[in-house]
């Protein structure tokens, strides 16, 4: 049995207890207990929780200081929070002698950091006027459903949840809808991600050991391509489960993925992949930076180019957030470069073709297919720095060679272009089939067939193949 | 409005048809399962589901359509499981990965071909290649050789055999005039040493010079092996009677495989045909004289097997297997087997003693000497392949019984269990020179260690004999 099933069993117990009463106090109590128990599963050593607890207390004290002293306190508090996070995450540019030399819990720390920082900034700007009790602060920052890998929910949305205020009750449509979402998630994590990971492992073995160049080319193609598919299924599957569990608790958690591989460019892609992280950074890095640049250098001509710069900085930060090594720094540079070049391309092409001309070009099916293929290929390429080290990259390069490496990436581009275009065309056709005024695929009958099919698939794969699904990748960040 | 009701009518018709077909198909399957004596719970489940499908026809149209959707989805889910399990679960895949890794570690180029592909490649190059022939597969259905039921003990003579790949490259060899992996013409000389036993006596799956016979030939050039994969004690006795009575070697090495000999003995004890070798010392199939007829029969048998295997890989068979959910059913059987694990094979020391006693008498009759070589299972050493403490204690108990039998019969023993260091699991890596990490035969280095120990024991025996 792998991680998804214990989490689901735990969630089921919480959902039942939580829905025993509509009393707000009861639900707060159950949620608090659930969050504490969930945190307690990470380590049996009380000492290992000290840094996390200290960070949470520090964050709350910071929130109260900002509330009491306003903007005077905000900069020192926010800076100190960022420094504390970097120190606890042991970023490699800090001297290792400064780190704590015992094992401590960091699971969920990144997501707690985003929430704490959001509270501090929004309280400072007056967007969160009301006071926050320590219990609400704890339940917001350490919500068991979103602790490990998000999504990152804003406090304003968390407070407005109908579940906590006792306004929501479990009804059959809610249970069925949530069940369908959870099932879809488990299929992604325990079947599709598992299949992609197994196939990729085999391909990696082949790539590392084979002496046949054809075999190595095919293996290289699979090693690079399957990681993107694996990561999507692993992460978005986990988010589906979390959102489904949230629905059963009366929480409307934000979506984190919106068919990212259908994105027509890299800019759109990041609006559809890990959306809550991109939105957070857009809100707290991109937008303020744009504002500062536009105020400092007011010019209509320069304005679009500031976006190029702001995209670069924002997405560099995304890469750096993922990890503490030079590989992640390079990953950030690639993301930043991809975003800023994409923006620059849009600006220059719009200037050259005119707004309408650019729109017409972007609407052409062939152009769309190529752009989709290129987006997938670039994302897959940048992910190499996400899943491997420089040393591993050198080994892969030595196994394939320069020409073969180029062939592999060309093959990925061609295959992604064709497959994604075909997928979009099929999807469009299927959605065009109508039943009682809406797409037939959304009908109860189609959903019943789909869900029973997925349930049989999950049962079959879990019981028959006895393979454990890989852990959630984003748990590590 | 009319259009809408027409669509509804069609949907209801499709749902009704699906429910009727599913109900009838399930009842028909239950009838078939009754015919082939499947367990009651399987038949009962099918009947209940079948009747349930038909009973749904009495309910409201919306419920019928919903039920039909669920059944349709479940059916599609079964086929999705079939497809996915093919990607996730392939019996050969873990072994291929391990072999590839072992080859990489040893610096041996990996041959990714299946044995069949390798054989067909050799045939394309004009080489008369065959897979190894395993006589034990004929225990239940002996081969017809010129109208007589026959169980050969070797393979076809004078052919090129592609055997197995555990270290990166296939073990290939030419067979001698009796169908064993020996140099041609060796039977024309007086035989120094003859070996009987299973695949370990063949030297699977190391290059021929590293096999036990290959190494012994350095000191005893006239060494032959009568080994074949799957040969247990009664097969070994039969080999002695068929081939060694005339050759009269000075020494006969009986390779006793700790991992498989008890199991082989149990299987062989259920073959009335093979038991005749044990019950009647005069019994013989005259295999030496029948080799040309044997070759014809074996060639036909093996070629049929190759044709079947090629057919099994054809798109028609693949499609048929997919339609019949072969993978799901196979995994289902395995799942049930896991729920009720089979008991480990019990060693039958009494029968073994009888077999060894007959063999000893036979060899002594021509003045030869029988030596039992106790060939340890790699998995008896902690951390190797399928090692478990329970397996180790079972092996230890059986080993003592085997050694007791040899002692009672006055048969010399070369015990190879001490040839390898018995290290704790934490130091298992030190043993990886001799054994693969997966269930397999020994590595070339493992065979070399075994060869040195046996050679030294034989030379000591020779010196003490002189």
Tell me the pLDDT band of A1, cut-offs 50, 70 and 90: very low
**Quick one: pLDDT at residue B261?**
94
Q: What percent of chain B has pLDDT over 90?
A: 74
Q: Identify which has the larger pLDDT, B178 or B2.
A: B178
3-class secondary structure per residue, chain B = CHHHHHHHHHHHHHHHHHHHHHHHHHHHHHHHHHHCCCCHHHHHHHHHHHHHHHHHHHCCHHHHHHHHHHHHHHHHHHHHHHHHHHHHCCCHHHHHHHHHHHHHHHCCCCCCCCHHHHHHHHHHCCCCEECCCCHHHHCCCCEEECCEEECCCCCCCCCEEECCCCCCCCCEEECCCCCCCCCCCHHHCCCCEEEECCHHHHCCCCCHHHCHHHHHHHHCCCEEECCCCCCCHHHHHHHHHHHHHHHCCCEEEEEEECCCHHHHHHHHCCCHHHHHHHHCCCCCCCCCCCHHHHHHHHHHHHHHHHHHHHHHCCHHHHHHHHHCCHHHHHHHHHHHHHHCCCCCCCCCHHHHHHHHHHHHHHHHHCCCEEEEEEECCHHHCCCCCCCCHHHHHHHHHHHHHHHHHHHHHCCEEEEHHHHCCCCCHHHHHHHHHCECCCCCCECHHHHHHHHHHHHHHHHHHHHHHC
pTM for this model (two decimals)? 0.82
Residue A393 DSSP one-character state: H
Is the Cβ pair B87, A215 closer than 8 Å?
Answer: no
Tokens of A175: 């249970």
A407 touches chain B (CB under 8 A): no
Examine the pLDDT at B91 and tell me if it is beyond 80.
no
Neighbours of A433 (CB within 10 A): 11
Strand-by-strand arrangement of the B172-174 sheet: B129-130, B160-162, B172-174
Alpha-helical segments (H) within A256-302: 266-269, 275-281, 287-296
| Digit-coded pLDDT (tens) for A204-214 | 988 988 878 88
Tell me the pLDDT band of B277, cut-offs 50, 70 and 90: very high
Partner residue opposite B100 with nearest CB, options A209, A450, A460: A209
**Quick one: pLDDT at residue A3?**
63
CB-CB neighbors (< 8 A) of B65 in chain A: 445
Is the Cβ pair B89, A436 closer than 8 Å?
Answer: no
Task: List residues of chain B with CB under 8 Å from any CB of chain A.
Answer: 4, 7, 11, 65-66, 69-78, 80-81, 84-85, 87-89, 93, 97, 100-101, 103-104, 109-110, 112, 328, 331-332, 334-335
Residue with tokens 């902690």: B382
Total residue length of chain B: 466
Pick the CATH number of B119-307+348-465 from 3.10.20.740, 3.40.50.1110, 3.40.1190.20, 1.10.150.120: 3.40.50.1110
- Type and span of the H or E element at A395: helix A390-400
A16 touches chain B (CB under 8 A): no
| Range(s) of chain B covered by CATH 3.40.50.1110 | 119-307+348-465
**Quick one: pLDDT at residue A431?**
92
| Digit-coded pLDDT (tens) for A417-468 | 999 999 999 999 999 988 888 888 899 899 999 999 999 999 998 888 777 8
**Quick one: pLDDT at residue A91?**
85
**Quick one: pLDDT at residue B343?**
79
Tell me the pLDDT of chain B averaged across its residues. Answer: 92
Tell me the pLDDT band of B465, cut-offs 50, 70 and 90: low
Interface pTM, i.e. ipTM? 0.83
A195 touches chain B (CB under 8 A): yes
Is the Cβ pair A446, B70 closer than 8 Å?
Answer: no
**Lowest mean pLDDT, pick from A114-118, A126-130, B267-271:** A126-130
In 3D space, the residue among A396, A469, A472, A458 whose CA is nearest the CA of residue A196 turns out to be: A469
A433 touches chain B (CB under 8 A): no
Q: Which residues pair with B162 in a beta bridge?
A: B172
Partner residue opposite A461 with nearest CB, options B75, B85, B334: B85
**Quick one: pLDDT at residue B344?**
77
**Quick one: pLDDT at residue B340?**
81
**Quick one: pLDDT at residue A247?**
94
Contact A258, A295 (CB under 8 A): no
A212 touches chain B (CB under 8 A): yes
Tell me the pLDDT band of A320, cut-offs 50, 70 and 90: confident
CA–CA dist A228, B127 (Å, integer): 46
**Quick one: pLDDT at residue B190?**
92
**Quick one: pLDDT at residue B427?**
84
Tell me the pLDDT of chain A averaged across its residues. Answer: 92
| Digit-coded pLDDT (tens) for B223-244 | 999 999 999 999 999 999 999 9
* SS3 call for A19: coil
- A293/chain B closest Cα distance in angstroms: 52
Q: Looking at chain A from residue 17 to 76, which residues have their Cβ under 8 Å from any Cβ of chain B?
A: none
Contact B83, A464 (CB under 8 A): no
Examine the pLDDT at B112 and tell me if it is beyond 90.
no
Q: What percent of chain B has pLDDT over 70?
A: 98
Partner residue opposite A445 with nearest CB, options B65, B74, B109: B65
Residues 6+ apart with CB under 8 A from B310: B116
| Digit-coded pLDDT (tens) for A21-66 | 989 899 999 999 999 999 999 998 999 999 999 999 999 999 999 9
Tokens of B139: 């225990």
C-alpha distances (whole Å) from A435 to each of A432, A448, A474, B4 are 10, 15, 39, 9
Is the Cβ pair B77, A212 closer than 8 Å?
Answer: no
CA–CA dist B43, B38 (Å, integer): 7
Is the Cβ pair B69, A467 closer than 8 Å?
Answer: no
Which residue from B minimizes the CA distance to A464? B331
Contact A24, A165 (CB under 8 A): yes
Residues 6+ apart with CB under 8 A from B448: B210, B215
| Digit-coded pLDDT (tens) for A239-264 | 999 999 999 999 999 999 999 999 99
**Quick one: pLDDT at residue B307?**
93
Is the Cβ pair A453, B332 closer than 8 Å?
Answer: no
Neighbours of B316 (CB within 10 A): 9
A213 touches chain B (CB under 8 A): no
* SS3 call for A163: coil
Partner residue opposite B66 with nearest CB, options A444, A450, A457: A444
Contact A436, B65 (CB under 8 A): no
- B391/chain A closest Cα distance in angstroms: 23
Examine the pLDDT at B398 and tell me if it is beyond 60.
yes
Contact B277, B241 (CB under 8 A): yes
CB-CB neighbors (< 8 A) of A214 in chain B: none
Tell me the pLDDT band of B364, cut-offs 50, 70 and 90: very high
| Digit-coded pLDDT (tens) for B303-340 | 999 999 899 888 999 899 999 999 898 888 888 888 88
Q: Which residues pair with B194 in a beta bridge?
A: B224, B252
CA–CA dist A334, A328 (Å, integer): 10
Mutation target among B81, B325, B329 for the A interface, most CBs of A within 10 A: B81
| Digit-coded pLDDT (tens) for A168-197 | 778 999 999 999 999 999 999 999 999 999
A408 touches chain B (CB under 8 A): no
Examine the pLDDT at B356 and tell me if it is beyond 80.
yes
Which residue from B minimizes the CA distance to A436? B4
């Amino acid at each position: 049995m792998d991680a998804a099933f214990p989490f689901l069993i735990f969630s089921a117990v919480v959902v039942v207890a939580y829905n025993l009463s509509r009393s707000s106090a009861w639900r707060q109590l159950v949620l608090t207990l659930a969050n504490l128990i969930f945190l307690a599963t990470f380590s049996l050593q009380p000492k290992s929780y000290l840094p996390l607890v200290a960070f949470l207390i520090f964050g709350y004290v910071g929130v109260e200081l900002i509330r009491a002293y306003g903007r005077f306190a905000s900069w020192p508090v926010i800076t100190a929070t960022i420094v504390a996070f970097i120190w606890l995450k042991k970023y490699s540019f800090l001297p290792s002698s400064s780190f704590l030399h015992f094992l401590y819990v960091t699971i969920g720390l990144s997501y707690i950091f985003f929430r704490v920082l959001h509270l501090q900034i929004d309280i400072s700007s007056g967007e969160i006027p009301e006071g926050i009790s320590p219990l609400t602060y704890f339940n917001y920052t350490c919500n068991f459903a979103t602790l490990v890998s998000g999504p990152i929910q804003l406090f304003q949305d968390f407070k407005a949840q109908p579940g906590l205020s006792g306004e929501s009750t479990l009804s059959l449509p809610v249970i069925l809808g949530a069940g369908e979402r959870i099932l879809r998630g488990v299929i992604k994590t325990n079947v599709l991600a598992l299949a992609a990971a197994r196939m990729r492992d085999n391909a990696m073995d082949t790539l590392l050991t084979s002496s046949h160049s054809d075999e190595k080319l095919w293996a290289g193609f699979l090693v690079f391509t399957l990681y993107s598919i694996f990561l999507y299924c692993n992460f978005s599957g986990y988010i589906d489960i979390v959102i489904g569990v949230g629905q059963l608790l009366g929480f409307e958690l934000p979506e984190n993925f919106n068919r990212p591989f259908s994105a027509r460019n890299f800019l759109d892609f990041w609006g559809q992949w890990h959306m809550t992280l991109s939105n957070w950074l857009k809100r707290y890095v991109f937008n303020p930076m744009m504002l500062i640049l536009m105020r400092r250098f007011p010019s209509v001509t320069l304005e679009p180019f500031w976006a190029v710069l702001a995209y670069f900085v924002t997405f560099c930060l995304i890469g750096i957030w993922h990890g503490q090594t030079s590989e992640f720094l390079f990953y950030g540079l690639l993301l930043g470069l991809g975003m800023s070049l994409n923006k620059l391309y849009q600006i220059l092409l719009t200037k050259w073709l005119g707004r309408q001309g650019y729109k017409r070009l972007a609407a052409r099916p062939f152009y769309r297919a190529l752009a989709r293929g290129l987006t997938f290929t670039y994302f897959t390429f940048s992910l190499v720095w996400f899943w491997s080290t420089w040393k591993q990259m050198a080994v892969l390069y030595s196994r394939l060679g320069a020409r073969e490496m180029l062939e592999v990436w060309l093959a990925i581009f061609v295959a992604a272009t064709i497959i994604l275009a075909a997928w979009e065309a099929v999807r469009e056709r299927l959605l065009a089939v109508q039943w009682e005024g809406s797409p037939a695929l959304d009908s109860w009958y189609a959903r019943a067939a789909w869900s029973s099919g997925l349930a049989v698939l999950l049962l079959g794969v879990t019981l028959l193949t006895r393979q454990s699904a890989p852990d959630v990748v984003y748990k590590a960040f | 409005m009319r259009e809408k009701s027409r669509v509804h009518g069609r949907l209801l018709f499709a749902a009704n048809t699906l429910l009727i077909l599913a109900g009838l198909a399930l009842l028909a399957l239950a009838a078939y399962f009754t015919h082939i004596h499947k367990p009651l719970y399987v038949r009962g489940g099918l009947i209940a589901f079948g009747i349930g499908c038909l009973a749904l026809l009495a309910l409201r149209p919306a419920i019928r359509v919903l039920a039909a959707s669920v059944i349709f989805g479940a059916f599609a889910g079964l086929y999705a499981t079939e497809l996915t399990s093919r990607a996730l679960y392939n019996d050969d895949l873990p072994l291929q990965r391990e072999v590839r890794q072992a080859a990489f570690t040893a610096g041996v180029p990996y041959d990714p071909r299946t044995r069949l592909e390798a054989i067909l490649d050799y045939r394309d190059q004009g080489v008369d290649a065959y897979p190894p022939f395993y006589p034990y597969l004929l225990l239940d259905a002996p081969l017809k050789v010129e109208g007589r039921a026959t169980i050969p003990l070797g393979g076809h003579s004078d052919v090129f055999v592609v055997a197995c790949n555990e270290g990166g490259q296939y073990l290939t060899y030419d067979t001698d005039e009796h169908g064993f992996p020996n140099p041609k013409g060796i039977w024309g000389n007086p035989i120094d040493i003859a070996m009987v036993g299973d695949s370990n006596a063949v030297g699977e799956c190391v290059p021929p010079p590293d096999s036990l016979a290959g190494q012994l030939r350095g000191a005893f050039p006239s060494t032959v092996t009568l080994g074949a994969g799957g040969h247990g004690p009664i097969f070994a006795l039969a080999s002695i009677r068929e081939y060694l009575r005339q050759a009269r070697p000075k020494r006969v090495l009986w390779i006793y495989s700790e991992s498989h000999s008890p199991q082989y003995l149990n299987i062989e004890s259920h073959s009335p045909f093979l038991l005749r070798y044990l019950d009647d010392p005069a019994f013989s199939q005259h295999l030496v004289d029948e080799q040309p007829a044997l070759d014809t029969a074996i060639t036909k048998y093996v070629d049929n097997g190759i044709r079947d295997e090629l057919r099994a890989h054809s798109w028609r068979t693949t499609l048929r297997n997919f339609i019949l959910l072969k993978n799901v059913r196979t995994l289902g059987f395995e799942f049930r087997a896991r729920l009720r694990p089979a008991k480990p094979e019990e060693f039958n020391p009494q029968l073994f003693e009888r077999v060894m006693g007959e063999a000893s008498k036979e060899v002594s009759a021509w003045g030869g000497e029988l030596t039992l070589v106790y060939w340890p299972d790699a998995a008896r050493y902690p951390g190797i392949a399928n090692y478990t403490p329970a397996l180790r204690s079972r092996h230890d108990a059986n080993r003592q019984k085997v050694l007791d039998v040899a002692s009672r019969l006055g048969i010399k023993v070369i015990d190879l269990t001490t040839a390898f260091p018995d290290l704790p699991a934490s130091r298992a890596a030190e043993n990886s020179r001799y054994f693969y990490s997966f269930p397999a035969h020994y590595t070339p280095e493992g065979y070399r260690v075994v060869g040195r120990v046996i050679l030294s024991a034989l030379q000591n025996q020779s010196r003490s004999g002189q």
